[in-house]
Amino acid sequence: MADDTTYYVYALKDPRASPALPFYIGKGVGTRSHDHLVKPDSTRKGLRIQEIEHVGYKVLVSRLVDSLTETQAIKLEAELIAALGTIDTGGLLTNTVMPSGLSKKVRAQVVVPSGVQEKAQIGLNLLKESVLELAKANPLGITNSDAASLLGLRSDYGGGSKDYLSYSVLGVLMREGKLARSSSGKKHIARVG
């Protein structure tokens, strides 16, 4: 059976700016992109819709990408939210669901410039995809050293944790269920699925 490709990713845009700026990114099927406008709720998104309509404008609904699988739609939605940023992270979007890995934990003594969390998450996603592709191309598995050396992730830091970055990425992929340890425990194998 072929994958269901009825999903799409859409943006709700505020027409009061030129060009119209997105204030919400979502994914869905059918009429999902327009359902928000039928009966706006009391979320930030719903309140923005009401505010736009109250002053005589209509929210613009733009389908950004059609014919996606659910997995593709989830991934693209998360990447767009990360790239545009939420109001909570100094960005444009009223979305309240943060992309995986973004945290609201703040340390008062650390300045976090606008957009750096989103950039880090985009970078992490690219690293994860690279490590996973390497693992898929090597059915017998890869070691942390393989990932660090072959992908240029090895550090020349003077401490003892030269391959910590690649090890962390492998750990994230294992937590997400995309990699498993080999029976020897020394290699990481891509899970089929």
Give the chain's domain count. 2
The alpha helices in 110-192, defined as continuous H runs, are 116-137, 144-150, 164-175
Q: Which domain holds residue 155?
A: 116-190
* CATH number (domain holding residue 134): 1.10.10.10
Contact (Cβ atoms closer than 8 angstroms) between residue 105 and residue 153: no
Higher pLDDT, 58 or 124: 58
Separation CA 166–CA 146 (nearest Å):
9
**How does residue 176 score in pLDDT terms, banded at 50, 70 and 90?**
confident
Q: Look at residue 105 and tell me if it is in a domain.
A: no
* CATH number (domain holding residue 53): 3.40.1440
Higher pLDDT, 107 or 122: 122
Alpha carbon 55 to its chain centroid, in Å, reads 33
**How does residue 89 score in pLDDT terms, banded at 50, 70 and 90?**
confident
